[in-house]
Structure 1
Amino acid sequence: MIKRRNFLALAAVLGPLASVSARAAVGLPAVEVFKNPYCSCCEAWVSHLKAAGFAVKVNLVEDTAPVRRRAGIPERLGSCHTALVAGYALEGHVPAADVKRLLAERPDAAGLAVPGMPVGAPGMEAGARKDPFDVLLVDRRGQATVFASHNKA
């Protein structure tokens, strides 16, 4: 059994740490993820977002295509999961830093996409291997331009 004074001492040490993580989440909108119930890389991406301070709600669905379609992301840019945040779609393994940049810049766009499942993207880690990949900004007509590049030599 923990003594009251030990509990208070522990709370004094850990309290500021808890408030730091709470402050980190302030201002970040919740992310709603739609993923297949059997996809472990999607779970790893969700953990990546949570570690970056996002609150995440996961919806298990057999097919993410209807969500992707409603969000304005063309099938050719599809990946294994689709997420929604503050009016934007996130398709695939988009790094949290790019999501934060999107939310700060607020471009007129459908969202961001990382087509396929590139090794080295968040949730797709495979040891030291980090393949280059682009995060695409998808406009409301379904056209894509490079928003950010990662793991380039």
Structure 2
Amino acid sequence: MTNKFTLGATVALTVAGIASFAAFGIAESDSTPVSDTLTAATIPADQQMTIWRDPSCGCCDAYADYAEENGYHVTRIDDRDFDQRSVEAGVPAQGLGCHLAEVDGYYVSGLVPVEIIQRLTSERPDVTGITLPGMPSNAPGMAGKSGTLKTYAFGEDGVNVYSNE
């Protein structure tokens, strides 16, 4: 009886040890941080941002970092033809920014401050998107930090000033 008990206990411990080792091995081999496993389903739409940008544009990277620091989950896509993509999305050719982003169903062209994007996604106006034309030196992602930025809304009703802050 003691031998059967010892044999049973040994088998049980062996199986438990193999299972633990296998689970530990899986956990150790999966080095993806939990924060990197977030999916579109777990991130609110108004906090997801996709940026199409020229791969050699340093201010676009600085802007993406700025957006991430302000709570956005940013996907960066290298696209040397982002300007063509912008026009196809409805951005007026004379109002192009230095990159194109999409946030919660809206297009955002240029270095638009996150406060203005947050207002856009919370107010949900009937527009295609907003643009901050060019590369103003006081915009996020650029060196300067003070001054007024004029952002325009664009859509079926044309182009209008959205923000002048």
State if a TM-score over 0.5 links the two structures. yes
CA contact (8 A) 1:71 1:89 kept: yes
Q: What is the TM-score normalised by the length of structure 1?
A: 0.74
Letter in 1 for 2:51: V
Q: Which runs of 5+ in 1 are unaligned?
A: 1-17, 19-24
Q: Which residue of 2 aligns with 1:132?
A: 148
Please identify the structure whose Cα radius of gyration is greater.
2
- Between the aligned partners of 1:27 and 1:33, the Cα distance in structure 2 is 14
> Which is richer in helix?
2
Aligned ranges 1:3-152 → 2 under 5 Å: 26=44, 28-126=46-144, 130-141=146-157, 143-150=158-165
Q: Distance in 2 between the 1:59 and 1:149 partners?
A: 29
Unpaired stretches in structure 2, ≥5 consecutive residues: 1-34, 36-42
Equivalent pair of 1:109/1:139 in contact (CA under 8 Å)? yes
> Displacement, 1:27?
6.0
Report the Cα distance in structure 2 between the residues aligned to 1:95 and 1:37, rounded to whole angstroms: 21
Describe the superposition over 1:39-76 as per-residue Cα deviations: whole angstroms up to 9, x where unpaired. Answer: 00011111111111111100001121222122111111
SS in 2 for 1:98: helix
1:131 Cα deviation (Å)? 4.1
* Structural RMSD (CA): 1.9
The number of aligned residues is 124
- Relative to the length of structure 2, the TM-score reads 0.69
- Aligned residue identity for 1:132: T
SS at the partner of 2:47?
coil
Report the Cα offset of residue 145 of structure 1. Answer: 1.5
Percent identity of equivalent pairs = 29
